[in-house]
Every structure is written in structure tokens, then in C-alpha cells.
A and B are shown apart, each in its own frame.
Chain A
Amino acid sequence: EIVLTQSPGTLSLSPGERATLSCRATQSVSSSDLGWYQQKPGQAPRLLIYEAVTRATGVPDRFSGSGSGTDFTLTISRLEPEDFAVYYCQQYGRSPLTFGGGTKVEIK
């Protein structure tokens, strides 16, 4: 099983600041098989990024993904009030599909 470790657990930032979230895998993950989700309280996760770098439909361009192999990054260039949420990475290339434990981006 591929274990995904996300860091930091919590990121305290102000609106307008840049957020950098990390996702590290225990085995190499194909870039085509890595995604990022946003989850707000009481809601289902929402797909933001797939294939490590491709934004899903309707996702603002302040969100960007990068990385390869075992290290992937989600960057939010300038935080908007609606971006404060929990973010999860997911690998969907090998069964069992796995998610990271999440990074909470909170208002400082």
C-alpha cells in the first residue's frame, strides 16, 4: 500500500499570503496518478488538481500542482477567504487507492 504523508498538519496564514502544501509517498507515484482535493466542513471533497498539475474544471488559477516521484506540492498563490479548508492528496494509480491525512489551512 502506498502511504501518503502530508505536511504540515496545519498551516496558519493570512488572506493574500502564499500557501505551500506537501505530499510525500512511500513509493514512487506516476504523475498521472496524483490528485488534490479541497474539503470544507460539512461538505464532500472537491477535486482541485489531477495528473499532479492539471486544474479541474472551474478551479481558479491561483491553485497549482507540481512534483514527481515521491514528492508533490500544492501551491495556492494568494489565499482568498474561501480557500481556508482542509486539503488532501490522493494517489489513484495503484490499489488500494489512498489519501493523505490532510493539511488544514486556517486563518491566522
Chain B
Amino acid sequence: AQTVTQSQPEMSVQEAETVTLSCTYDTSENNYYLFWYKQPPSRQMILVIRQEAYKQQNATENRFSVNFQKAAKSFSLKISDSQLGDTAMYFCAFPTESVNFGNEKLTFGTGTRLTIIP
């Protein structure tokens, strides 16, 4: 079974600092992709970044970047120059293996609650 683990329930950093959120996963697939989503106090689920497993280059979106270690099955999110608006729950997500239906449904980690301190 495919699993997603986020080992940091809560984190807090000072504004403008850099923070890294960790995520590990387990899969027997070779070709897959991973996501980070954020859920601010509004409770909306917002896509942060997507990483393709076949790409050696780590994905980057402005201040957000990932450190993807395929062999270690690790997918961490780095937020640079953190801002107050980054305060949110962050979820790592991974398409769940489904023999009959294809890898469509997402399995989410338990989340990391990130607080940016002014």
C-alpha cells in the first residue's frame, strides 16, 4: 500500500527566514508525481508545487522549491523568505496505486501546521 508521512505536526519560523517541511512516501511505482498543497485559515486547498518523478531537476515556483530524493522516497518543501501569508497547513499528496482504475486518487499526509511569526 502506498503511504505518505509528514513527521512534523507543527513548525514556526520568523518572517523572512527559510523553512523546510519534510515528506516521505512509499511506492512500488517508477513513474509518478507528487504535490504539495497548502490550506490557509480560509480552508481553501491551494496547489503549491508539482514534481514529476522522472525529472532529475527539482521543481521551483517562486519562493517555493522541493528537494526530491527518489531513491530515499523523500519530497521536502523549502519556503524561502517566508511571509505572513505562508501561514497555513501544508499537505504532501501522492496518487494512490489502484490496479483497476489507474493512479488518480490522491493520498494526503497528515499535514504540517506552519506559522510565520512577525
A binds B: no
Task: State the B residues within 8 Å of A (CB).
Answer: none
